[in-house]
Amino acid sequence: MPQGTRPPDRKLRRLGIFGGAFDPPHQAHVALVTAAMAQLALDQVRVLPTGQAWHKPRELSPAVHRLAMARLAYQDLPQVWVDDREIQRPGPSYTLDTLRELQSEFPAAQLYLLLGDDQRRALPSWRGIGEITRIAIICAAGRDAAVRAWNQAPDAPAGPPPLPDVLSARTLSLDMPLMPHSATDIRLLAAAQQTLTGLVPPAVERYIHDHHLYRPH
């Protein structure tokens, strides 16, 4: 049955939630979910492409493409369900709204909010972060090797402040290899019609090529 159309399993005990623009989804996104499933013994992971991203300075690619690419990226992971609720929801996409809905749908499940390192850094600014920490355990992964190296350099300015105690107490770290590539880098390569091999799943690379995504107009 296609992703996004399966009936909900209300017996889930450990449910991961991973949201993002997925513009495009890349290998670090897949690696994060794979690591979380193994290390947290998750029954299911909901991958949620964002709808209207209030925090993004640029306009996202059309939702139909981002949703299709997310489904291709995770098609070989049967425990992953690509969920389109944030795309269908009118107005800005807020993680808190999604967590409230999933908590209501799966009252017996512990929710785990999966984050990349860049998202973890922005947590204090998220809407309703106090309630988010009450609903879900936050599971963050380091992904950006370049940023880490910069922060560790002797002459580097101070990095972002540590998370407040209320966040740190509800935050776990995922053990996964650092993967320095980003969606921004991949869009630039695609715009220049360069190969994306090794950066995105093969099916996603074909989709980007077939639909001429990220090329200058």
Q: Roughly what angle, to the nearest 10 degrees, separates helices 202-210 and 63-73?
A: 150
User: How far apart, in whole angstroms, are the C-alpha atoms of residue 111 and residue 106?
Assistant: 9
Task: Give pLDDT, residue 155.
Answer: 44
Helix (H, G, I), strand (E, B) or coil at 48: strand
User: How far apart, in whole angstroms, are the C-alpha atoms of residue 26 and residue 30?
Assistant: 7
Residue 49, both tokens: 């492409």
Burial of 136 (0-12, 13-18, 19+ CB in 10 A): buried
Q: Is 168 within 8 Å of 143 (Cβ atoms)?
A: no
| Partner residues linked to 111 by β-bridges | 15, 136
Task: Give pLDDT, residue 150.
Answer: 30
Half-sphere exposure of 66 (CA within 13 A, CB side): 25
Task: Give pLDDT, residue 47.
Answer: 98
Residue 6, both tokens: 């399966």
Half-sphere exposure of 29 (CA within 13 A, CB side): 31
Q: Look at the domain 14-210 and name its fold.
A: Rossmann fold (3.40.50)
Would you kindly state where each structural domain of the chain is located, as residue ranges? 14-210
Task: Give pLDDT, residue 156.
Answer: 37
User: Along the 217 residues of the chain, how does pLDDT read in single tens digits?
Assistant: 345 545 556 678 999 999 999 999 999 999 999 999 999 999 999 999 998 765 555 789 999 999 999 999 999 999 999 999 999 998 888 899 999 999 999 999 999 999 987 777 778 888 898 899 999 999 988 644 433 433 343 443 344 445 555 565 577 889 887 777 799 999 999 999 999 999 999 999 999 999 999 999 7
